Each structure stands twice: as structure tokens, then as C-alpha cells.
Structure 1
Amino acid sequence: MDLDAELAALRPLGGFFVLRTRADPAGPAPEGLATLAETYATVAPEAQRDALALRVATVAGRLRAPEPRVSVSISQQGLAARLWSVALGCAALYGRVPALDPRRLRWDPTATAHEDLWLTEVRPLPGDAATLADTVLHGHLEPLGVALRARYGIAPGLLRGNAGSALAGAARELDRWARAGGRTDVAERARVLTDELLAHPLLRGTGTRTATAFRRRSCCLYYRVPGGGVCGDCCFTRPPRSSPRAVSG
């Protein structure tokens, strides 16, 4: 199936999977929004609102995060989940993935999925694991990680763990939707692609996947949020009492 201009096949999945496009009936992205390429700049352009800092501050306010590295981690994991969901969803449903060029993805850092990202051009690419890795890992998560480490000093191992966790989470939701609708072909494509991606050097060792369950080897620090607890795939079984700095890298 070819990609359509509105990526309509993603809509039934909802939430993190939906990506608005220029052809979306809801309208194109406001031109004043930063592109993700601008967002990943180590130093934000003077004429452009600092979308990365705004996102970190927005997440900190919503979660009442007690320290910057917590909101930095959750911000990065949220964007990783959006990108993996769109890319993996398209690859499993269409057999193609849109070219998610950071220069053509506009981002509203104050919005939540699915209102935060707009793709200004839908250009199909192959839906294999190597293309997904180039699109998401190399095209987005690497430059995002460079920016976050330069600005906030966040541990690279934490960011890698977040990337693996976000991929596994997207795969789990896609599998649940596909099996509920009798789309075992979609579930199988998602499984194969996810296994190949988790073997990539940038994701290898971030966790252990059994069927659709994933247990990561690091912590995203969500338990530091008031009332947060530990996530379902956390390396901890209960919130630790000591500082997590030793395990976040």
C-alpha cells in the first residue's frame, strides 16, 4: 500500500501514532513553529523561539518535576515515542515510511500528541529496519541527544534507554491494536522490525524484550516525579530511596 497524503491509516491507532500533514483537513502547521532541525540546534537561532527549552519547561510544569534532568528525560522519551510510533506504524501498515526530515517536521513544544507534529511533505521511503534506523535514530535521536547533553549534561545511557523503551512501547501498542483487529500481518511486521532495530548498535543492550514485554536496563527518572512511581519496563521494581545518578547513565 502506498503512503497517502494524510497518512490516514494511522488515525485508528490514535495518540502517539497520528501525524498531521499539510494535506490534513485540520490545516497545516502554523508557520511560526520551529522545525525539529531548529529544535536540535545546540544553540537556538536568535530569531526562533527556543522550542527545546520550552518543551523541557512545559514538561517540568505539568509534572512538577523536582529537578531539570527529570523533565529533560521525560521530554526526550516523549518525542522518541512519537517518532517511533509514526515510523513503525507506517512501516507495519503501509510497508513504507515517510521521510521524517527534521527540516520538514514542525513542532509545537507546548502541545501533546497528536497535536504536536506536522509534516510538510509526505515522501515515501522503504519500510525496512535500516531505513527506520536512519530516519529516527540518526535523523532525530542522535542530534536531539547531542543538544540535550550540551545544554543539560544529561547522561547518554539514560537517553539510549529512553529510545529503546519508546520503541518497545510503540511496538507493544501497535501489536495490541493489530491483534484486536485481526491484523496478524501487521503485528508480525512490527515484531520483526522491532527486533532488528533493538539489535542496532545504538539500541543494543538497552533492555531485554520477551514477546512484546520489555525490561530496560536504565531508569527514565519518572519515579522522581511526585506520585510517579516506576514505569512498567523500569529496571527497578520499586522506587529506589537513593539518588538514581548511578543508574541513569
Structure 2
Amino acid sequence: MELDPGLTALRPLGGFFVLRTGSPADLSAPPLDQTYAGRPAAVQPDAVADRVAVIADRLGVREPRVCASLAQQGLAARLWSAALACAALYGRVPDLDPRLLRWDAAATAPDDLWLTEVRPLPGDPGTLAGTVLHAHLRPLGETLTRRYGVAPGLLWGNAASALAGAARQLDQWARLNTRPDVAHRAAHLTSALFAHPLLRGTGARSGTGFRRRSCCLYYRVPGGGVCGDCCFSRPPGSSPRAASG
């Protein structure tokens, strides 16, 4: 199936999978290449700082490092969801070149990302790795490490967790909608991506399950706890009695 300009096959999956396309209504949202480059706010909005501030306000978090981690994991989940679903449904992926993708840091899915032009690429693991890992998550991670001191290993753990989550949701949709072909392609692509040097060693997989070897720091959010795939069984510093109470 060829990619259509509206990526309509993604719409039934909803939420994190949908990617808006065409000319953006809000031209103030910067292309992601400028976001990763850290252009001065006087020239372009500082989407990274804006997203960190949005998360801090919504979750009541005072630690920028925690907000930066959660911002990266959210964007990673959006990128993996759209790319993996396109590869599994169409057999092709859109070119997610950071110059073509605009990010509204104040919005939530599916209104946060806008692809200005749909350019089809092969839907193979190497293209997916280049499209998401190298074009986006590597430069974003370098920016967050430099500006907020987030450990690279934590960020790659976030990237792996986001990929596993996208694959799990896609597999559930495929099985509910009697699309074993989609489930099979998604599983093959996901396994190949987890063999990539940047993701290899980030955690242990079993079927669609994943247990990471790092922590995204969500437990430091007021009222937060550990995620289902966290390396910790309970928040660090908490007692077994407090964790079970």
C-alpha cells in the first residue's frame, strides 16, 4: 500500500499514532531541526524549554531533569508510534526529516506534531532506525544531556521503553482487528530495532513485554510511582511497607 498524503491508515489507531500532515496552521511552531540545534529564543521559540515548562506546570515537578526526561519519552513515543505503524500498515514510512516536522510543545497528541510533506521511504528496520533514532532521538538526547544533565543511558532507556509501548499497542490493535500481517510485521521490525547498538542492552524483552535497565524518573513526580517496565520494583528510598500501603 502506498502512503497517502493524509496517512489515513493511522487514524483508526488514534492518539499517539496519528500524524497531521500538510501545511501547518501555526507557523510559529519550529521545525525540529531548529529545536535540536538550540536556536536562540529570539529567533525561534525554544520548544525544548517550553515543553519542559509545560510538563513542570502540569505535573507539579520542580526538577528540570525529570521534566526533560518525560518530555523526551513523550516525543519518542510519538515518533515510534507513527513510524512503526506506517511501516507495519503501509510497508513504507514517511520521511520524518526534522526539517519537515513541526512540534507544538504546548499541545498534546495528536496535535503536537505536524509533518509538512509526506515523502515515502522504505519500511525496513534500517530506515526506521535512521528516521527515528539517528535523525531525532540522538540529537534530542544530546541537547537534553547538555542543557539539563540527563544521563544518556536513561534517555536511551526511554527510547526503548517508548518503542516497546508503541509495538505493544500496535500488536493489540492488529489482533483485535484480525490483522495478523500487521502484528507479524510490527514484531519483526521491533525485534530488529532492539538489536540496534543504541537500543541493545537497554532492557529485557519477552514477547511484547519489556523490562528496562534504567528509570525515567517518573517516581519523582508528586504522587507518581514506578512505571510497569521500570528497573525498580518500588520508588527508590521508599520502604516495602510504604510502597504497599
Same fold (TM over 0.5): yes
1:178 is aligned with what amino acid?
A: A
Partner of 2:14: 14
Q: Are residue 33 (structure 1) and residue 21 (structure 2) matched?
A: no
The letter of the residue matching 2:136 is H
Q: Tell me, which stretches of 5 or more residues in structure 2 are unaligned? A: 239-245
Amino acid at match of 1:224: R
Alignment partner of 1:90 is 2:82 = no
Matched, 1:70 2:66: yes
1:46 deviation in Å?
A: 2.9
* Distance in 2 of aligned mates of 1:97 and 1:124: 6
What does residue range 228-239 of structure 1 map to in structure 2 within 5 Å? 228-239=224-235
The equivalent residue for 2:142 is 146
| Aligned-partner Cα distance in 2 for 1:66–1:44 | 24
Residue 222 of structure 1 is matched in structure 2 by 218
Output the aligned Cα RMSD: 1.1
Q: What whole-Å deviation, never above 9, does each CA across 1:71-109 have from its counterpart, x for those lacking one?
A: 010000000000000000000000000000100111100
* Identity across the alignment (%): 70
Q: For 1:66 and 1:233, how far apart are their aligned partners in 2?
A: 24
Q: Which amino acid aligns with 2:178?
A: G
Q: 1:81 and 1:62 mapped to 2: Cα distance?
A: 19
> What whole-Å deviation, never above 9, does each CA across 1:17-54 have from its counterpart, x for those lacking one?
000001xxxx7341111111111113435311111100
Cα shift at 1:65: 1.3
Contact 1:36 1:107 (C-alpha < 8 Å) held by counterparts: yes
- Retained in 1: the 8 A contact 2:38–2:46? no
Structure 1 unaligned runs (5+)?
243-249
- Corresponding residue to 2:118 among 122, 132, 137: 122
Amino acid at match of 1:175: D
- Residue 207 of structure 1 is matched in structure 2 by 203
Q: TM-score, normalised by structure 1?
A: 0.93
Which residue is equivalent to 1:101?
97
**8 Å Cα contact 1:91-1:128 kept in structure 2:** yes
| Residue 172 (structure 1) aligned with residue 168 (structure 2) | yes
In the alignment, the residues of structure 2 paired with residue 207 and residue 20 of structure 1 have an alpha-carbon distance, to the nearest angstrom, of 32
